[in-house]
């Protein structure tokens, strides 16, 4: 496997949040950030342009659609990708609802701490990598299993 930088999709209708997070990761990571101020445009690109994504972060309150609906759409396309809600909304009930409905990986409140954000994202990416490795191993096991059963069939055919 070639080591490519992890791809993170970030959606926030506020340009200033995107600039902040992008600048921080530009100096502290090799992550490739795909940023959108429009969740609808992000969904469109997820359907057409974007081949793979390792982690998705979304704001909660946006004029086009809220972050929970957006992440629910993302889940349909990439079920295994960790989803993070980033919000300044003072309402914890929404976060709980989101975690239950959409299966959020994490909930981060604005204003956030950069170290916390980095740690959460790193752990999320690690989860993605582990899941990918697990998937690969499962595929390998299935492949070996298939070979074995082929051999078994061959043996049976020869001797019976």
The residues that touch other proteins, with contacts defined as CB under 8 A, are 14, 16-17, 19-21, 23-24, 27-28, 61, 88-93, 109-114, 117
State the minimum distance, in angstroms, from the CB of residue 109 to other proteins: 8
Rounded CA separation 37/119 (Å): 24
Decide whether 24 or 127 has the Cβ nearer to other proteins: 24
State the minimum distance, in angstroms, from the CB of residue 25 to other proteins: 9
| Residue-by-residue DSSP string for 114-147 | HHHHHHHHHHHHHHHHHHHHHHHHHHHHHHHHHH
Phi–psi pair at 54, nearest 5 degrees: -105, -20
Contact indicator for 104, 77 with CB cutoff of 8 Å: no
β-partners of residue 57 are 10, 84
State the minimum distance, in angstroms, from the CB of residue 151 to other proteins: 57
Rounded CA separation 72/60 (Å): 12
Decide whether 25 or 78 has the Cβ nearer to other proteins: 25
Decide whether 64 or 109 has the Cβ nearer to other proteins: 109
State the minimum distance, in angstroms, from the CB of residue 100 to other proteins: 16
Rounded to 10°, the helix 39-48/67-77 angle is 0
Whether cis (ω within 30° of 0) applies to the bond prior to 119 is no
State the minimum distance, in angstroms, from the CB of residue 110 to other proteins: 4
Decide whether 38 or 50 has the Cβ nearer to other proteins: 38
């Amino acid at each position: 496997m070639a080591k490519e930088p992890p791809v993170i999709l970030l959606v926030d209708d506020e340009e200033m949040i995107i600039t902040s997070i992008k600048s921080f990761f530009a100096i502290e990571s090799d992550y490739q950030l795909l940023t959108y101020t429009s969740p609808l445009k992000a969904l469109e690109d997820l359907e057409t342009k974007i081949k793979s994504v390792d982690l998705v972060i979304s704001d909660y309150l946006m004029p086009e659609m809220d972050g929970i609906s957006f992440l629910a759409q993302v889940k349909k396309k990439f079920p295994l990708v960790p989803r993070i809600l980033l919000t300044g909304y003072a309402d914890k009930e929404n976060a709980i609802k989101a975690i239950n409905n959409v299966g959020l990986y994490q909930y981060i409140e604005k204003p956030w701490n950069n170290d916390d954000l980095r740690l959460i994202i790193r752990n999320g990416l690690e989860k993605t990598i582990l899941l990918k490795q697990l998937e690969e191993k499962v595929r390998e096991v299935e492949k070996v299993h298939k070979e074995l059963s082929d051999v078994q069939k061959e043996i049976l055919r020869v001797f019976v």
